[in-house]
């Protein structure tokens, strides 16, 4: 089985838990292209077999999430898994719809974000959460992220929660975003729930559960319906036609002169797609062979 499976990750499973379970079911090499916190749910693209070659094309994909902020409480992990550090009464005026929408819209655009101390980012060879668990202070590296769009979905005045949808760049920490939104509203808060609904072109409608995969692992029709092959992944990319005499050179990794714009292309010879190539500075280079 070679390609991409979109898994709907359940709560309390780490991304590595899901990888291990799918590897056991399919008996293939399995990788993923970006972790989801254990308390988060949603889209987790898994790369199977030869599909693991697609990792570098997926790693920078944008993401879309639906998140819920719990206002009036602050935790050490910035989510519902952590210990409560502080509690405050939340003035109902803060939850005025126009006020909340204004604060959300202020988040749109590029910004410098400080990731949570409880995260897997490495500093001096150690993950940040390892420092946090030992109570060791460490400088957290900041990063530039971008919020492309953010939409208010719900305000629950009784529970003091806000639900929103956000479309953002790779590397965005929604826990930090939730904390920032709470601060802009004049209070404190943490991420209560998180559901990733899209990664690049992959969305929740394409996702299956690990249980569904286990149940249908011998069902060829089910697998064909849900497995995105390497060829399927690239089918919307532009095409470069090669003459048959150039095919052997391309397959052997020889860079060929080509006047197309820089980018990824499907390589076609005699109306058959033989692989994927990349063009840079007018040179065509082999990437993947079918």
Residues labelled as active-site residues? 37
Taking only Cα atoms into account, the Rg of the chain, rounded to an integer number of angstroms, comes to 22
Rounded to whole angstroms, the Cα distance separating 211 from 232 reads 24
Q: Which contacts of 164-169 are long-range, i.e. CB under 8 A and separated by 24 or more positions? A: 164/66, 164/67, 164/69, 164/104, 165/64, 165/65, 165/66, 165/67, 165/197, 166/64, 166/65, 166/67, 166/107, 167/62, 167/63, 167/64, 167/198, 168/62, 168/63, 168/64, 168/65, 169/62, 169/63, 169/145
Residue in the structure block whose two tokens are 């995260």: 119
Angle at 174 between CA 7 and CA 40, to 5 degrees: 35
Beta strands in 49-115 (DSSP E): 63-71, 73-75, 84-87, 109-113
Q: Parallel, antiparallel, or unpaired for β 239-241 and 263-269?
A: parallel
């Amino acid at each position: 089985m070679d390609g991409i499976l979109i898994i709907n990750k359940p709560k309390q499973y780490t991304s590595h838990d899901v990888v291990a379970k799918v590897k056991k079911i399919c008996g293939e090499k399995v990788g993923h292209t970006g972790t989801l916190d254990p308390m988060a749910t949603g889209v987790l693209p898994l790369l199977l077999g030869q599909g693991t070659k697609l990792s570098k094309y997926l790693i920078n994909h944008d993401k879309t999430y639906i998140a819920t902020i719990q206002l009036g409480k602050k935790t050490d992990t910035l989510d519902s898994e952590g210990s409560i550090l502080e509690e405050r009464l939340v003035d109902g005026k803060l939850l005025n719809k126009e006020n909340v929408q204004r604060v959300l819209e202020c988040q749109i655009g590029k910004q410098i974000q400080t990731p949570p101390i409880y995260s897997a980012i490495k500093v001096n060879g150690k993950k940040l959460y390892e420092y946090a668990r030992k109570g060791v202070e460490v400088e957290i590296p900041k990063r530039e992220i971008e919020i492309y769009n953010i939409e208010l979905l719900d305000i629950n005045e009784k529970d003091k929660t806000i639900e929103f949808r956000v479309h953002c760049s790779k590397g965005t920490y929604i826990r930090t975003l939730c904390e920032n939104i709470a601060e802009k509203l004049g209070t404190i808060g943490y991420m209560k729930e998180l559901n990733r609904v899209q990664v690049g072109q992959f969305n929740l409608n394409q996702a299956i559960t690990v249980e569904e995969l286990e149940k249908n692992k011998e069902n060829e029709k089910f697998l064909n319906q849900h497995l995105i092959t390497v060829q399927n992944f690239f089918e919307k990319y532009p095409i470069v036609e090669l003459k048959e005499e150039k095919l052997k050179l391309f397959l052997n990794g020889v860079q060929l002169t080509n006047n197309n714009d820089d980018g990824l292309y499907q390589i076609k010879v005699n109306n058959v797609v033989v692989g994927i190539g990349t063009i840079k500075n007018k040179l065509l280079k082999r990437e993947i062979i079918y």
